[in-house]
Amino acid sequence: KAGVTQTPRYLIKTRGQQVTLSCSPISGHRSVSWYQQTPGQGLQFLFEYFSETQRNKGNFPGRFSGRQFSNSRSEMNVSTLELGDSALYLCASSSQTGMNTEAFFGQGTRLTVV
Amino acid sequence: GDSVTQMEGPVTLSEEAFLTINCTYTATGYPSLFWYVQYPGEGLQLLLKATKADDKGSNKGFEATYRKETTSFHLEKGSVQVSDSAVYFCALYKAAGNKLTFGGGTRVLVKP
């Protein structure tokens, strides 16, 4: 069974640009969550999607957005990039019953903003 | 709001030493508790979990017991190996919000 796949693995962008990250969950998983990992703030919850609907959102500015497609694949978008957006972005998928069962994480996308 | 506090690292040990990583939490209600491990260049892997008070999670020689009276979920392993070198994250989950709240992570380095 394939795991959670995140693309691309590495990305370098310039301040002011926008970026789109992709996450393909484990087959059959309908819940996809995104987290930002930085040395200073640790792991912080961005948002969660279930059946194409955003169910929960963390405390991030509106520049951070996401969506989920009918095949459960998810994308997150960051517009008007800032240096502080440099981070490892992790995607996690879980079964219909949610993350209490088990959340499976991808390897992440390392975003560097210069 | 909910929060998780775990001991800061790095923790440096010799092979076959005993490992303890302290984790305490603040949360209303009855959260589930997890330990995740992150190896270099990788995402997070679930190590073990406990869903109610007094439950003991265990996996690969690691153990942790959900102590509601002390709001703790300390991770222990009796004899570590070099391959246990990684960053360990304690986390809690509550159904309301359907998200994991993580501690800051503890880096463990095991030397041969």
The predicted-structure confidence for B61-97, as pLDDT tens digits, reads as follows 999 999 999 999 999 999 999 999 999 999 999 877 7
Q: Under an 8 A CB cutoff, do A42 and B97 touch? A: no
Q: Percentages helix, strand, coil for chain B, rounded to the nearest 5?
A: 5, 55, 45
Q: Which contiguous run of DSSP H or E holds residue B36?
A: strand B32-38
A40 — pLDDT class (breaks 50, 70, 90): confident
The predicted-structure confidence for B24-34, as pLDDT tens digits, reads as follows 999 988 899 99
* Smallest Cα distance from A11 to chain B, Å: 15
Q: Touching check for A95 and chain B: CB below 8 Å?
A: no
Q: pLDDT at position B9, please? A: 86
What residues of chain B lie within 8 A of the CB of A58, using their CB?
Answer: 99
